[in-house]
Amino acid sequence: MNADKIKNQKSKINPTLRRIIGYAFALAVLFFLGRLLVQTWDQIAASGFKFEFDLPRLLLSLILLIVARAFAVEAWRRVLLSFGERLDFAFGVRVWFLSNLTRYVPGNIWQVATMLVMVEQKGVSKTNALLSQVVYTALALAIAGLLGLMFFLMRPEILQGILDPGIVPYAPLIAVILFSALMIFFALPPVNRGLVALTARITRRAITAPTPTFARGLVPPIFSLLMWLTNGIAFYLFADSITPVAPANLLAFIAMNAGAYWIGYVSFITPSGLGFREGALAWMLASFFPAPVAVALALATRLWATAGELLGVLLVWISQMWEHK
């Protein structure tokens, strides 16, 4: 009896403690990044570095963020379809953006929980909805991780003595091979059937799913890759709207954007990767810009991404208002 009581108390304390630790750690990382920015900002004046703000490119980058999220929605919707569930694309977009409002709550689970509640209104099984999110997240993180690795292949000087600079010309070929292998793996019918069987065993429920085909399984990875590419292009345009960035660096910016997201997501300890993502991004950006500029861009990227999410929510709200007229 006493043991059960202690266990229940621990289960109540631990989530609160983790939340406090998460926010404290995020604030600590952001504090040190901000201090570095203040302490080294005078280097900008000494170097003659200039900022050139370009509003049209900034607006275009925000629009591309919305397009990237639309690709993500379609990737997730196709995964959901593979488990025998149907969800309208427009409603899927609404679910995606509205659930994004909970992303900054520590734990990286509230967005999914909100999604489950919303899709249930359309008759979608919570079990299948949860599974679709697990599969989609695994797919998206796998692609993001590979893109992040591509950054190091394109910038081997960061890991001197570990990577051979001569690998740079072969980076595109290596990327094509790795991404092709990844998409083929997720498209294989046995992989699809295995995921369904595993879920049925874990949930102890019978899951009726359409017969998987290679062509059908290939669709979610393609849309997920399009999401990361579009998001990376948006990030490049955002940086270029603040200070000129050579077009030759586009692929590197696509890779570092995905890599920083991957690091932020798997951190778990901070809300929506807060702090981890900015730190990783500042480190990678430092290979292109002076340290204070890299830190400033990394911190500004969080505000930019949040602005894109809020813009998506605004568009969803406007569409809902239009429907009710």
Average pLDDT over residues 58-63: 94
The region of weakest confidence among 94-98, 149-153, 241-245, 250-254 is 149-153
* Listed ranges 25-34, 40-49, 263-272, 308-317; the one with the highest mean pLDDT: 308-317
Phi/psi at 288 (5° precision): -115, -30
Furthest C-alpha separation in the chain: 70
Residues 6+ away with beta carbon under 8 Å from 22: 106, 107, 269, 270, 271
What are the sequence ranges of the domains in the chain? 2-323
Alpha carbon of 79 to those of 19, 93, 171, 206, 219: distances in Å? 31, 15, 30, 18, 9
Q: Are 90 and 67 in contact (CB under 8 A)?
A: no
pLDDT band at 107 (very low <50, low <70, confident <90, very high): low
The residue ranking higher by pLDDT, 80 or 29, is 80
Average pLDDT, the chain: 77
- The pLDDT assigned to 209 comes to 64
